[in-house]
Structure 1
Amino acid sequence: MEADANIKVTPKGFLCILCNVNLPNLPSLEQHVKGRKHKTLSTVKETRKAQEEHSVFVSGIKPQISQTDITEYFQKFGQVSDVIMDKAKGVFAIVQFTDADSTQATLSCLEHRMSGLKLRVKPREKKDFKLIPKKTGSENLQQSLDRLKPQLCQLASVDAQMQHVVERFQLGENEKKTRELLVSSCKRFSWSFFQTARFCHSVFQARAKSTTEQAGEGMSDDGRSEDSILSDIDLSTSSPTEVLELVATILRRCVPSVHKVHVVGSARLPVVKFHHQELNLQGDITINNRLAVRNTRFLQLYSGVEDRLRPLVYTIRYWAKQKQLAGNPSGSGPLLNNYALTLLIIYFLQNCDPPVLLTVDQLKDMACEEEECVIEGWDCTFPSQPIAVPPSKNTQNLCTLLFGFFTFYANFDFAGSVISVRKGRALPITDFLSQNKSEEAMHEEKPTKTQPHGPKLGPLILLDPFELSHNVAGNLNERSHRSFQRECQDADKYCRSLQFQHKSLKGKPWGLVRLFTPQGGAPRDKTEQLTISIPFKLASLPETLRNELHHAGDGFRLLWFQKVCSAVEGVFKNVLRCNIAPSTDVAFGQDSAVDAAGEMETSLNTSTNDSFDSKDAAVVGAKRRLSSGSDAAVSPQGKKPRMTKTQKPELPHWICAQKHMVWAGRRKVRRELIKDTDCRPEGSCMEMEAQVTDRIIEKEPGLKETLEFKVQPQMVGETESTKTVLTMEPTSDQTGVFQDLFHFLEVFLPKMVETLLEKEAGSA
């Protein structure tokens, strides 16, 4: 390995100064140096070093000096690649050349005069490149809670705590004025360039006109005419992304204190993001997003109709942020956005008994003729004033409604439902499974304009109130969705305790304080380590299988579970070449797959019936009901005895036997088989993976003792994400290799099952 200045030898091995990583031995070091992180940081370090060598620091300038003026002056010493100005104070700049000779020529000049100013030029300061570790999310979340905790603990009730959260996090008068100042600043530049532009709720809207109509006669801050900025763009034919690129250019050059400007053109609705340094505000600008404006007014109507909505939204948003379920600062990724979280709250309030909020369709019927509104073909009609909506008959307090929210979603059937705030009820997922049935699936919510496709399918499907083809939670993945429901279940359990409702007389944290406490990732226990989950992923299902599930109606879970079991058996038998024997007295096939699913559903229903009823959410702090009836097994104290092992039915399972370590070295064998052809991802081809197994069996010696293990499939559904859970247990592992096999199967098996489902659908 070539010498690397970033690597230092230590008594315990090696230290990579660049990545701040300790490495125990030479093989680990070689693997690390070849890794993407080390290569990326090495490239960044070299780029920064070259930029410093090719740059000079210039001071003595005035705020009226533009970037163009500086570029034109220093161009005589060599080609200028970039000029970085201090726009906040306008007193210094960094001039970067394309080569080091230009830098030396600039520094060798004894005097620099420009526009009557004497400039001071010196070499750019060289700084050591250092990877600054980011603060962990748990540290920031705990600090946020520590600032809030003293006030919350002193309050007398959970309702008072929720009101305090609103007062703490809502915008104050100074913050409102600051935002108005930023909007006014953006208005000034927009009207100069886009004479028909209109700002609405921080959404930039511009109707494209010809260049001559939109170009102003004044000069921009950098001395260039506005027409020169617009001269290469025909706004009448430009795409939204191209117009936003222009907006980004204007922000960088013309608006003081704005930096970190970038265009997110890949978003569903392209947007310009920026940061105002002086006001310390983040901003977004998009164009012609009339639906977003309508959504904002819709939420304002709900807030005006129901006073309990704002405290609930503020409290649940902060809870979700503390649990790292929402509040992603970058505005992207697999976390819940605040709008989706608000719609989940509204949907829960629509389903209270009696309802706290009316559905969108009910609001539409209350609107007068002048309030009718259709945007891009979608019906966006609702009353403009809260006074037109009758008050709710629901009298539950904030504490009870918060508890009810967690209970409602802790047991919600996300896998089988499409949440419709417009209807105020869950639509069956089977109506959305087939792409060919998308128009039929949405016949109840058919807009004026025919849409080409339905909503994006995912683990959580939450329809926009107006744009019914948009899944507001479409960015969520399986892991984020499971985290949300698991946190709801934990919160539901905590809200049943006395520590939630009653203030501690000893000054201990209570109420919202304990609810908001961030939790670190707990290590998985041994039982969980021996299970492999294959989730029900709507988006990855082939169209043929979607059609089958669509026709299966309410029984789609059993049909999908049966398909997965068949695929799992195919992986073990035909891909990994295991010898498979079904459990005693049970022929594992289609019927036993259904039996396993049925038994699993029976056990789930039993546990659900014994658990806390959703109607009991009105009694905060209430404990679980004791089972009642004439069951002879009930003890005199009214408690059920623990179920013995003999009472629990044995679910169907496989007994697998493997004589070779077919999981070891698979990638190397795959590369040898594929050679110069395109390398397909592992698990993407059944035939290839079977050949890899055969090559390993042919070349490598077998195990001294046959590895035997039990695989027991179960279907989990209804009250949480539908998934097939494979519980694995070694029955004979004298060589101690079962854990290695299990870790391989954790990743390999779900991928292969997905591949086999696609293959079966394609051959059908």
Structure 2
Amino acid sequence: MDMEVEEAGMAEPTLDDLESLPRGGFRCRLCHVTVANKPSLDDHLRGKKHQRLESLRSIRQDQELRSVFVSGFPKGTPASELSDYFEAYGEVVNVVMDKDKGVYAIVELQDREVLEKVLAQPQHSLGGQKLRVKPREKKDFKYTPPRKQGSAKREQLSPEKLAQELCQADDVDAQMTRMVQLFEFSEGERRLRDLLVTLFQEVFLEFFPGSAILPFGSSVNGFDVSGCDLDLFLELEKTKKFQASAKSAPGPPAEDEPDSHSEDSILSDIDLASATVPEVLELVATVLRKCVPGVHHVQVVPNARRPVVKFCHKDSGLRGDISIDNKLALRNTRFLQLCTEIDERVRPLVYVVRHWAKQQALAGNPFGGGPLLNNYALTLLVLFFLQTRSPPVLPTVARLKELSEDEEQTVVEGWDCSFPKDSTQLEPSGNKENLCALLADFFRIFGDYDFPGCLISLQEGQPLPLPSVLQSEVGSKLKLGPFNLQDPFELSHNVAANVNEKTALRFQRCCQAASKYCRSLQYQRKSSKGKIWGLVRLFQPGTAEAEVPVAAEFVINLPLTLAVLPAETHELLCQARDFQLRCFQKVCAGIAFILQDVLKCSCLEAQQGSEEERQAVPEGKQGEQQTEAKAGPLSAGCKRSLDEEEADSSSPSSKRPRTDTLVPEGESMTWDCATWHKVWLGRRRVRRQLRGPQPDQQQAAGSLELEAKVSEAISQQEGGGKPADPLFHFSVCARVRADAFVKQDMRISLCFEPAPEQAAAFQEFFHFLQGFLPRAVEQHLAREA
């Protein structure tokens, strides 16, 4: 060993310890540390960690050189007997027995001279058995640091353990508070994430001068859950400016600045200002793979809505991703933090709703995509619910913008993201509801919510009718569907756009079940007999949903903008009642068209008049009247039955008579319908098959012609012809609501009534109609106009 190295207090590294990397970097194989340049390497070699591992390796190597491997002794032989036996050759320092099977031992001797005496003996025996003694095998030194307590993610909480913890609480409010304590980060996990962020910052600063690593999402927004991903944003604006100035400035760079023109500089490979996002992400992935210790499974995902680089931290198992164009996520994160600071009830409600949704298989989806709700959407739904309380628990986003100061005005990617930085500037809420009541009301409200017919807006703190949204510039960019939840700042983004009709309807049914349970004493009071109560019963998957009673009344509200009607009708609508009735007629004709021509239901206009008058008709007479109605001419909104169509198939086709010339008696209309095929199942798959790789204009997604073909194809798959009996019968009554012609919107209520013994079978079809019928009717009216 060099005297100079000893005086400096550092061991001389071997050639096998160091590995040269491209662009002047080094890797210390002993410590598993990567450094960017020679000065950083010198600092590392002088550091305590490297010195300690060098010393530990020297000790281990010395132990190997004076130790022997011993086997062949009787099983269960104590270490003291082996020590006594080898003491005859010299001093024994230590004896390490095989812990698992007890069939071998490592005997550490005082020095090499004692070792040579032991090996010089040709035969060893103990307890009458021959011993096999040989030099200890030399292995490469590998240091595995002891795992610090709390450094890894918290042990997964089992349902049994969670139930035990919650049942010990005094009331539901205490249970919800305990939920936060059980699921949030431990102190060790917070420190681990902070250290990783610091490590990433140091590495990326070496390669991208002026860059910054900024965490966002669940790790820092106040809704952290143990084991959640680490989302990072790599800010490169200062790096781009540095690179631009370095190119324009002649001469060598200053001593304290890296040279972006150097062949060793990573910035010499790419122009950040003109590079595409995938190109920059590939560069980021290269840095992660080669220069960040403990990171593996690095993968670029360029086709995501926000392209990212995914990675995994080997020691802790923590997964994460890095994005370079997601500044809006930073503002969303700060907005969620602000909400948690405004009111302490926000966090418990969000934690409980998220866990409930996961247990009911409504949310989760760890691999991305899919039709389930994500945690961000559930969080926004809770915040919207708190905005709509009376008085509100949280202010609307629009109100927060009004309260922000001039220096707090922020615009990101063209969106106004202004809100106060300090929650103490806001007045505390006057709402004093407890957590137990708030959770019960959350389920009650969203159990009967028109998700496909409106847009949930945190900006305004109220649902926005789709007709008015679609006419706006933002609405034309929104991807609407069965569940419409607007991002608070990026107004053209529906954060629940991935949710399909099945999940949206299951969400409502589960909310209905939860609402019913929350009205019971089992939810509100602690059991004195040790039974499960409160949140524990709520979290059990599937049990509450199975108890949902079949709804006594099925209602769909149709908010139809008058813009789809002819211009002359639109102008005179508020001047003459006749025009209002004629408008109602057109809508009824559209409803009948969708049910019969698009969904292939049998549809027959029922007897007109008041409900009292219909009830006064004997049951037999009602059948006669319906028979007469079949033979008679069709009136407003009525289509020919499928039986008539089949009977007339041999005759030449003729133009159908106009169905909007007769004014209905009163402002309601009823049809008796029957469904023959399960046209609501598998529509997406059949629609994709019919469109083919290059759909023509008539087969555009969502066109009524295509939807009719989908229904026909499903009918053919089920056997083609009409079965002997329909799946179920139902009636539907269209009524004009009191606010029908207010604010340029027509509001019509459709009340469905299945046959009493067929209500359960009808429910699935009705849930499909909730999302399909309003859009299809409005599309039909727009085409007719």
TM-score range (shorter-chain normalised) is 0.5 to 0.7
Q: Does the alignment pair 1:305 with 2:332?
A: no
Partner residue, 1:352: 389
1:281 corresponds to which of 292, 314, 318 = 318
Deviations 1:34-63 (A, max 9, x none): xxxxxxxxxxxxxxxxxxxxxxxxxxx978
Q: Does the alignment pair 1:203 with 2:253?
A: no
SS state of the match for residue 462, structure 1?
coil
Q: Is contact 1:709-1:728 (8 Å) kept? A: yes
Residues 226/154 of structure 1: CA separation in 2 closer, same or farther (3 Å cut): farther
**Matched ranges for 1:52-71 at <5 A:** none
2:478 corresponds to which of 455, 466, 473 = 455
**Matched ranges for 1:234-245 at <5 A:** 234-245=271-282
Q: Distance in 2 between matches of 1:701 and 1:162?
A: 54
Deviations 1:103-153 (A, max 9, x none): xxxxxxxxxxxxxxxxx9xxxxxxxxxxxxxxxxxxxx9973222111111
Q: Distance in 1 between matches of 2:784 and 2:359?
A: 48
Deviations 1:18-43 (A, max 9, x none): xxxxxxxxxxxxxxxxxxxxxxxxxx
SS state of the match for residue 381, structure 1?
coil
Residues 184/579 of structure 1: CA separation in 2 closer, same or farther (3 Å cut): closer
Q: Distance in 1 between matches of 2:494 and 2:566?
A: 18
SS state of the match for residue 245, structure 1?
helix
Residues 518/685 of structure 1: CA separation in 2 closer, same or farther (3 Å cut): closer
Amino acid across the alignment from 1:206: L
Amino acid across the alignment from 1:200: L
Partner residue, 1:627: none
Deviations 1:183-237 (A, max 9, x none): 12221221122112112223222125349959999xxxxxxx9848655533221
1:565 corresponds to which of 583, 592, 595 = 592
Amino acid across the alignment from 1:193: F
Q: Distance in 2 between matches of 1:428 and 1:691?
A: 28
Deviations 1:639-690 (A, max 9, x none): xxxxxxxxxx9952247999xxx9xxxxxxx9xx999999989998969998
2:203 corresponds to which of 189, 201, 209 = 189
What is the deviation of 1:511? 0.4
Q: Distance in 1 between matches of 2:282 and 2:505?
A: 38
Q: Is contact 2:674-2:726 (8 Å) kept? A: no
What is the deviation of 1:480? 1.8
2:166 corresponds to which of 152, 159, 173 = 152
Residues 173/216 of structure 1: CA separation in 2 closer, same or farther (3 Å cut): farther
Q: Distance in 1 between matches of 2:32 and 2:566?
A: 57
* Structure 2 residue runs without a partner (length 5+): 1-14, 23-28, 35-138, 140-154, 216-231, 255-261, 575-579, 608-624, 640-667, 680-686, 738-747
**Matched ranges for 1:39-50 at <5 A:** none
Q: Is contact 1:189-1:254 (8 Å) kept? A: yes
Q: Is contact 1:655-1:710 (8 Å) kept? A: yes
1:317 corresponds to which of 339, 348, 354 = 354
Q: Distance in 1 between matches of 2:459 and 2:711?
A: 52
Q: Distance in 2 between matches of 1:411 and 1:387?
A: 36
What is the deviation of 1:257? 2.6
Q: Distance in 2 between matches of 1:476 and 1:463?
A: 13
Amino acid across the alignment from 1:475: N
Q: Is contact 1:273-1:285 (8 Å) kept? A: yes
Q: Percent identity?
A: 39
Amino acid across the alignment from 1:268: R
Partner residue, 2:194: 180
What is the deviation of 1:242? 2.4
Amino acid across the alignment from 1:152: L
Q: Does the alignment pair 1:481 with 2:518?
A: no
Deviations 1:567-625 (A, max 9, x none): 332258xx89x9989885457664469xxxxxxxxxxxxxxxxxxxxxxxxxxxxxxxx
SS state of the match for residue 243, structure 1?
helix
Q: Distance in 2 between matches of 1:321 and 1:238?
A: 40
Q: Distance in 2 between matches of 1:561 and 1:291?
A: 44
Partner residue, 2:671: 652
**Matched ranges for 1:559-708 at <5 A:** 562-570=589-597, 584-585=625-626, 590-591=636-637, 652-654=671-673
Q: Distance in 2 between matches of 1:546 and 1:334?
A: 38
Q: Distance in 2 between matches of 1:546 and 1:498?
A: 55
Q: Distance in 2 between matches of 1:454 and 1:674?
A: 23
Amino acid across the alignment from 2:473: S
Amino acid across the alignment from 2:187: E
What is the deviation of 1:475? 2.1
Deviations 1:379-434 (A, max 9, x none): 22222112111111111211111112112222233233222212222222220234
**Matched ranges for 1:76-475 at <5 A:** 144-201=158-215, 202-207=232-237, 209=240, 210=243, 227=264, 232-434=269-471, 437-438=472-473, 453-475=476-498
Q: Which has the higher contact order (CA 8 A, sep 6+)?
A: 1
Q: Is contact 2:604-2:672 (8 Å) kept? A: no
Partner residue, 1:518: 541
Residues 747/165 of structure 1: CA separation in 2 closer, same or farther (3 Å cut): closer
Q: Is contact 1:588-1:653 (8 Å) kept? A: no
Q: Distance in 1 between matches of 2:545 and 2:399?
A: 45
Q: Does the alignment pair 1:503 with 2:526?
A: yes
Q: Is contact 1:582-1:655 (8 Å) kept? A: no
RMSD: 5.9
SS state of the match for residue 652, structure 1?
strand
Q: Is contact 1:416-1:429 (8 Å) kept? A: yes
SS state of the match for residue 473, structure 2?
helix
Q: Higher mean Cα deviation, 400-409 or 508-517?
A: 400-409
SS state of the match for residue 461, structure 1?
coil
Residues 253/325 of structure 1: CA separation in 2 closer, same or farther (3 Å cut): same
The count of aligned residue pairs is 527
Q: Is contact 1:459-1:481 (8 Å) kept? A: yes
Q: Distance in 2 between matches of 1:701 and 1:391?
A: 64
Q: Higher mean Cα deviation, 544-553 or 352-361?
A: 544-553
Q: Distance in 2 between matches of 1:258 and 1:703?
A: 62
**Matched ranges for 1:700-739 at <5 A:** 712=731
**Matched ranges for 1:732-751 at <5 A:** none
Q: Distance in 2 between matches of 1:426 and 1:751?
A: 19
What is the deviation of 1:306? 0.9
Q: Distance in 2 between matches of 1:411 and 1:260?
A: 44
Q: Is contact 2:513-2:548 (8 Å) kept? A: no
Residues 176/564 of structure 1: CA separation in 2 closer, same or farther (3 Å cut): same
Residues 559/314 of structure 1: CA separation in 2 closer, same or farther (3 Å cut): farther
SS state of the match for residue 189, structure 1?
helix
Partner residue, 2:222: none
SS state of the match for residue 537, structure 2?
helix
What is the deviation of 1:723? 11
SS state of the match for residue 186, structure 1?
helix
Q: Distance in 2 between matches of 1:557 and 1:264?
A: 51
Amino acid across the alignment from 1:204: L
Amino acid across the alignment from 1:459: P
**Matched ranges for 1:27-38 at <5 A:** none
SS state of the match for residue 470, structure 2?
coil
Amino acid across the alignment from 1:326: A
Amino acid across the alignment from 1:186: F
What is the deviation of 1:564? 4.6
Q: Report the TM-score when normalising by structure 1.
A: 0.56
Structure whose alpha-carbon radius of gyration is higher = 2
SS state of the match for residue 466, structure 1?
coil
Q: Report the TM-score when normalising by structure 2.
A: 0.54
Q: Distance in 1 between matches of 2:246 and 2:468?
A: 50
